[in-house]
Chain A
Amino acid sequence: MLTTMLTKTLTKTLTKTYHAITKNDLQTLLDILNQSYQCVGPTVSEQTLKYSSISKLSQLPLGYIDQQRPGEYQLLHNTDSKDYFSITTGAQGVKPWLFKAQEKLWTVSKQDGRIQFNSQLTDEKPLAIMGLRSCDMAALKLQDQHFLQQQFQDPYYAGHRDNLFIIAVNCHRSTETCFCVSTGDGPEIKEAYDLLLTELEHDFIIQSGSSAGHEVLAILAQQVTLTAVTEQQALEKQQRLNAAAQQSRTLPDRPIAQLLAHRLNHQQWNNIAERCLSCGNCTMVCPSCFCHSEYDEPELDLQTSHHFRQWDSCFASEHSYIAGFHFRKETRQYYRQWLTHKFAFWHEQYGRSGCTGCGRCISWCPAAIDVTEELAILCQETSCHVD
């Protein structure tokens, strides 16, 4: 498993090949991938974008764009559009496919007077995921850092991660809540993909970034014509990336981590707590959040019990319950924990901030709290403390 990870990292440095394919050629790519992988991609479902199994080009969100604002998500459809990937993100990216929202870890049963543990390591068909954006790719790297730390690898995450094939897609537009430029994670995807697509008006530019990607590209080349990228197409790619880089939201251009760590009694935490529902949606849609809880489900015969883990949230009161004591009790404390972990203490843990600028916590906050706006206030030159 580790060697595969290593290979993937090494092959990143392989010479990248740039080709153009027609939009219809994407169907051939899907056919090839579906032979060896369970292939998932963005689809329109329940007035939003969800990743689900795809085998036909027609399942992709052709002509759809997402309009995201604080606490608001709406899809619009342009029947004249020829773009499959104008839509940016839905509530989830790749996280639920690797760090599963609910997963059985082991079953324990009594057999011949002895207790027997059986872990449920995955034996699924390998996954190919199409449509991940720069924010998703950066968040994937953060999740890898957390779950695949050298001597403490999580076997469940690693099991799903091991054979993952990634067809990343460069954004050609941003939605109102995007701020990946400001976190330094986008809009252009630079690494860790197997294949990368950049959608142009009439074609895709396709490039491989790993040996697995190179193999798929070689098979594709036998079935469709890979043409050299023209100067015109390269220019269009750059124009489209530039368009995606037009973002109105930014993080404060100040040392956020240091400021937050010293502003734990800022008045703004109380102000936020008046609006915050403490619902935890921000943590559920955050592609880097990794907290989880575990629970048991005993069978009625009392001979067998199943042990599960599930996504947890720092907004849940049980999450801060230790040894008979809740050490966080108020919404102000829950929100502060989330924000300071993500933007301040993550640096100590993993060497950078835990935010990749996807804006999901802004769009999917039912109370329309905008993290960039709150950080701007919390990190203002003069701080307002309360004791």
Chain B
Amino acid sequence: MKKNLIFGLTIITGVLMFNTSCEDMIETPPPNEILVDDAIKSEDDLQQLLNGSYHEMANTFGGFYQTLAELMSDNVALPNNNDYREVYNHNVLFFNSTSGAFYSQLYRGIFRANFVETHIDDATDLTEESRVRILGEVSFIRALGHFTAVRMYAQPYGYTTDNSHDGIAVTTTVGTTPQKRESVKVAYDAIITDLENAINKLPEENNGYATSWAAKALMAQVAFQMGDYSTAGDMANEVINSGLFTLADTVNVFDASASSEHIYSIISYGVNDQRSGSYTGNFAAAVPVIQMDKALYASFTNVDNDKRLQMLEVVNKGAQNEFIKTTQFNTPYFNIPVLHLTMMHLIRAESYAKQGIDLSVATQDLNDIRTRAYITPNLLPSAATASQILDAVRAERKIELLFQGDRIHEVKRLGAIEGENLFIRGHEWNCKGMLLQFPITEKTEIFNINPTGGCD
């Protein structure tokens, strides 16, 4: 009996030994992908990963973000698209796939930036200079992503006095643990920290990618939204005074000739590698989904004199199916400025006027814009008062940044920071539907989604 047992066991053990030495038999990695450990070895690998993050941001800002922000504002007409209608009606359901796709696009960009940061030490040939720059770019992308998310998915800065109201998830690491919904204050603190980092680490010139000027311009925009006019004015001033950017002759900042104004833009590299499709698709069709609000158009009294308004086209004029579309996006592809010089002039003018400082600089900012915008410009007097400047800058801003996704945030800033009682289509600036809704998968025990039911 013993002999049998030993004989049997020997055979079995032999097979086991054979197998255990062949652990590879159960290692079958996916053939068409690279294992993370094998993929990131050099600076070039990191650079390519970072490019993947920019790519996501490009898809976010190539018209997608701007379309949704415009839909929330009073600039556009009721669209013929169900998801868009919910945005327009300020009642976005958590099943709205467009809002969901936008949200995931944003955070995918942030994730990829975080991924680069996590793996930065995997590149063995990384120089200190590149390391600093890459970390600066990560910070910039993350700040841009979080800033966009908090503006679109949360009530604005200033909605509560201490900004303790619900903000967004602040994602700064790679992992699968669901994050909690941070307050708006925490979100803005994180954005500012990232931007300070980016300002310190980024170079002044970076081949189309983020620079320290882009970070400063974004900081100006963030501070402006927060009502921190001192920082906003300073930052805009620094960017303008860098002398690296000049106001273009054209009123269309999307035109190829306007690139001298672009501080940070999404690059369309060619007709087969273009990132302006979302703009073209939504705004430039024969009968576009996004059309201008007719009442807003009717409120402009100076159309003939305003080169910017002349980019608008009234189709089927007088007929029942009349609509107004912009011709701004009629080229096959173009770069999309996310931060540009006109924006800086507008921020500086308003920030200085709010603080009552350097009013002559603010006046000049406005007059530069007006000189370009009008056939016969009506310039501000050199001794314009702060209040005159404020009125002028807000009027110009509305037209200058039309279809750039600015208006909704402007309404919210004026409501939350300046205490104005503003409405969009009868909905107050702070009503519960005046934001996008999170996809339902965001909801966890530590993450409340936005209230449902829309604005009353």
Does A pair with B? no
Residues of B at the A interface (CB closer than 8 Å) are none
